[in-house]
A and B are shown apart, each in its own frame.
Chain A
Amino acid sequence: MDAQFKSGRLLTLTVLAALLPCSIAPVSAQVTLLNVSYDPTREFYEEFNAKFAEYWKSKTGATVEIRQSHGGSGKQARAVIDGLEADVVTLALAYDIDAIADNSRLLPTDWQKRLPHNSSPYTSTIVFVVRKGNPKNIKDWNDLVKPGISVITPNPKTSGGARWNYLAAWGYALRHNNNEESKAREFVAGLFKNVPVLDTGARGSTTTFAQRGIGDVFISWENEALLILKEFGADKFEIVAPSLSILAEPPVALVDKIADKHGTREVAQAYLEYLYSDVGQSLAVKHYYRPRNAAWINQAESPFSKLELFTLDEMFGNWRKAQQAHFSEGGVFDQISVKNK
């Protein structure tokens, strides 16, 4: 009897455990797109999705619902590789989409050529946020390596934004030292020596700088910097534009295999193209991303800083090379981190 007892229990348990995974399979008749994006684009896409759904309804009569997923750019790419079924990805840097193409073959490796402007419908750059009145008188990159200046940036190993920060500093140093690699390395090492805390993501660094009050200068996405002024008050912080910075191009891409599987290729493609329309571009401006139309940036009421920009490709070749040289295991960033200890 006792044995019967036990096996009965175990049987119930096994059956329940086996049933569990099949019990909930979300099925919907309506067309649904999943846009897997990175952290700071949430408000932008919330508004853009509503506008696109309206546009699609008026154009085709069909209803489309767009779902969003946000997180650190690298983490999101990893999730798509592991099976998060994104119809489109809109990430912080091309390397993350390269990683999806390389590791999962869900989209071709030349994905970046498929849409205008390197598949980046909106751009941003890297600027400085300082405390009101700029008490440490920070004007340009070379002020950041001075002793006694406390610099806040997230960790380039984990944060897409931080890699843009790092590469912007590197590009500035190259330009001012006749393209000498060793001088650039020294410069960037000096900069990271002044960083008291490396958060894992851009939003974490924002909190460190703006809420916890740590640091004299915060190296930040321009859109994030403008958002800080809006959220925390322009009476507390101000933006300083360096003389030279990098043109950060957050790319977008259709994930071919998933879109084909869901039968959403047409609407997903239209969704990405709509980002380049006047509606998409003006929403980007509203959320502090730089539009591709240069005339809009130079408007009198434009919130964007005027500064000279270089592209990643002209300074570093492409993202794969930059990633390999600087941020891979044992790369330049690891080397200067060890030396700074």
Chain B
Amino acid sequence: MRWGLTGAAVAFLGLMLILPLVVVFATAFSKGWSGFSAGLADSDSFAAVKLTLIAAVISVPLNIIFGLAAAWAIAKFEFRGKSLLITVIDLPFSVSPIIAGMLFVLLFGAQGWLGDWLAARNMRIIFAVPGIVLATVFVTVPFVARELIPLMQAQGREEEEAALSLGAGGWQAFFRVTIPNIKWALVYGVILCNARALGEFGAVSVVSGHIQGVTNTMPLQIEVLYNEYKFVPAFAMASLLVLMALLTLVLKHWIEWRSARSLAQIGSGPDRAIAPPR
């Protein structure tokens, strides 16, 4: 029975995950290393990598700040509308990314609510870099907050209160007590957020305008290349994205392992769903 189930799981994963990954890399390198590097050397592709990194570099720190602020407020304080706030944080998870994109078009588009105001000031948001960043921020909002909220709720506020009563300042308590307690969950949230920021397609596609070399992110550029029958460059770029994702996964596992170990050392810790290493 156990072998049957394990075999089924392995076969499924092999078919659904490993095989496609092999295909991505095999196609990317089907014309050798020179074909692969030539595929990435194109200036439009280079611009796409740059834009994707810009979007990630802006959205991840914003996410950390927002996630910390939201989780802190929700876990440590009682206020009205708290459950509403929790629900709103989850919104980007529950709506389709295309709706996120259309929301920005309705808001900032030429026919949108703020369209005339923006046009009068010659400010461009959608179909320009700010729109890409906004869409990325929107779809990644929940990641850090979602990781922190349950942990911080479980930890309660006793430790901070103790620190304060012993004479620590507010920020001191935050950096010396709160941050060390949530360190691993925070890093984990950042990694998930980063992965999504790099890979987002739907919302970004709506607000991009697909201007080559300007507003195409890596996922969009992959679609462009694929539709152009440029299979080697398309898969070269895809494999780059896959590599980034794999790196993220490796980091994630390392973090889980580290955090499980540090929890084990403390001996008592909140009951997170992390199995101790065997």
Of all chain B residues, the one with the shortest Cβ separation from A34 is B211
CA distance A84 to B209 in the complex (A): 6
Q: What is the number of residues of chain A that contact chain B, defined by CB distance less than 8 Å?
A: 39
Interface status of A285 (Cβ within 8 A of chain B): no
Interface status of B111 (Cβ within 8 A of chain A): yes
Of all chain A residues, the one with the shortest Cβ separation from B161 is A2
B212: contacting residue among A5, A6, A68, A203, CB under 8 A: A68
Stretch of A19-27, A136-144, A149-157, A272-280 on the interface side: A19-27
Interface status of A336 (Cβ within 8 A of chain B): no
Residues 234-257 of A, flagged 1 when their CB comes within 8 A of B and 0 if not, give 000000000000000000000000
Do B229 and A82 touch (CB < 8 A)?
no
Query: Which residues in chain B, 82-117, are within 8 Å of chain A measured between CB atoms?
Result: 105, 108-112, 115
CA distance A16 to B60 in the complex (A): 13
Q: What is the number of residues of chain B that contact chain A, defined by CB distance less than 8 Å?
A: 42
Residues 52-92 of B, flagged 1 when their CB comes within 8 A of A and 0 if not, give 00000010001001101100110011000000000000000
Do B224 and A70 touch (CB < 8 A)?
yes
Most buried by B among A67, A84, A231: A84
Given contact pairs A4-B170, A5-B174, A26-B214, A21 touches B125 in the complex (Cβ within 8 A): yes
Q: Which residues of A contact B229 (CB under 8 A)?
A: 227, 231
Do B77 and A39 touch (CB < 8 A)?
no
Q: How far is the CB of A52 from chain B (nearest CB, A)?
A: 16
A16: contacting residue among B62, B129, B164, B213, CB under 8 A: B62
Interface status of A214 (Cβ within 8 A of chain B): no
Tally the A-B contacts, defined by beta carbons under 8 Å. 103
CA distance A42 to B42 in the complex (A): 15
Q: Which residues of B contact A71 (CB under 8 A)?
A: 210
Interface status of B130 (Cβ within 8 A of chain A): yes
Do A9 and B65 touch (CB < 8 A)?
yes
Q: Which residues of A contact B123 (CB under 8 A)?
A: 21-22, 25
CA distance A71 to B123 in the complex (A): 24
Interface status of A311 (Cβ within 8 A of chain B): no
Q: How far is the CB of B113 from chain A (nearest CB, A)?
A: 12
Do A21 and B212 touch (CB < 8 A)?
no
CA distance A312 to B231 in the complex (A): 36
Interface status of B124 (Cβ within 8 A of chain A): yes
Q: How far is the CB of A256 from chain B (nearest CB, A)?
A: 15
Query: Which residues in chain A, 67-123, are within 8 Å of chain B measured between CB atoms?
Result: 67-71, 79, 81-85, 103-104
Please give the residue numbers on chain B whose beta carbons come within 8 Å of chain A beta carbons, in ascending order. 58, 62, 65-66, 68-69, 72-73, 76-77, 105, 108-112, 115, 119, 123-130, 133-134, 137, 164, 170, 174, 209-214, 224, 227-229
Interchain Cβ contacts under 8 Å between A and B, 24 examples:
A4-B170, A6-B73, A9-B65, A16-B62, A17-B62, A20-B58, A20-B130, A21-B125, A22-B123, A24-B129, A24-B133, A26-B214, A36-B209, A42-B228, A67-B212, A70-B210, A70-B212, A79-B127, A79-B210, A82-B109, A82-B111, A83-B108, A84-B209, A227-B229
Closest 10 CB pairs of A and B: A83-B110, A82-B109, A9-B69, A84-B209, A84-B127, A24-B129, A69-B211, A69-B210, A231-B229, A203-B227
